[in-house]
Amino acid sequence: MALKISVLGSGSWGTAQALHLHKAGHEVAIWGKEALELADLRQGRSERYFPGLSLCHPGDLQVEEDLHRAARGAQVIVFAVPSAAVRQVALAAREDIEHGCVLISTAKGLENGTLLRMSEVLSEVLGRLERIAVLSGPSFAAEVVRELPTAVTIASPVPRLSTWAAQLYHFRYFRAYASTDLVGVELGGVLKNVIALAAGMIDGAGMGANARAALLTRALLEIRRIVLAMGGRSATISGLSCLGDLLLTATGDLSRNRQVGMLLGQGKPLAEVLGSMHQVAEGVKTAHSCLQLAQSLGIEAPIIKETCHILSGEHDLQQALYNLMSRAQKFE
């Protein structure tokens, strides 16, 4: 049955999801703030994110610049704005969201200050955790747009909702697995962005494949400790939303976080790197929140810690590497 779906966020991932859900047979509206992006989408293209591609026929997507109109009457609302904007957008749209509407969060970050996950932010603003699902996993937007095989996880504490939401996205080239581990699925997507920054630094500095493999292996342990301490499940850590997304984001050339890390590893200043980008690298914005979360749980997270020191300018890469390599020896 075709549903009325609104995607909030016209960046690369929001656009990819809107196109995918349209191809799956639904009536899709997409909302954004950037006039040029919206004008492009009305013509069935997105030159900023997918240059040279014809994405759909003009008019296939309902393109909205009015948030209230986009949210009103939707049966499903997909939040695809950067994590720093989720609360603001949810507050602005709150009066227009119908009580039975399903909310799907696809932003990967912790809220600065509160350390809340995005599902918790949405629940706090909209008061409906039982209607919220989270989509996460290894899914570059450019590959979804090109209909390359992709598999993700969709989680909700309500089994029926996670199954329903997985079926909503499940279509031809796009496979969705259902989960009830909301905490593990969501945190995996958050933490891997920080590790991807560190992996990019290793590669940008030419430190080799040995160093990258060691970093990712030990970083996965940090992710495991945090996820388990927050109530996530061990099986989730080896699944698509943790290990799968970590491998993609830390090694794939389309990864924004890896790109930032590589430029930092080459010695470029963070401000210059971020100023040259058209999209948000969530790991930069959420790294310090991830470290605060680990510290609040009494968990050692040396890779996340040193990544934060580099981002804040307290350590350079060589100092961070020395600090990691000179830690006391221990059994694995």
- C-alpha 222/C-alpha 299 separation (Å) is 8
List helix spans (H) across 127-208. Answer: 141-145, 159-169, 182-204
The answer to whether 26 and 4 are in contact (CB under 8 A) is yes
List the catalytic residue out of 4, 23, 33, 192. Answer: 192
Q: How far is CA 134 from CA 31, 67, 80, 137, 182, in A?
A: 19, 21, 11, 10, 7
Q: Which residues pair with 105 in a beta bridge?
A: 79, 134
Angle, vertex CA 201, rays to CA 200 and CA 204, nearest 5: 85
Residues 6+ apart with CB under 8 A from 50: 12, 15, 142, 145
Q: How far is CA 287 from CA 121, 198, 293, in A?
A: 18, 11, 10
The answer to whether 2 and 27 are in contact (CB under 8 A) is yes
Active site residue 33: no
Query: Which active-site residues does the annotation give?
Result: 192
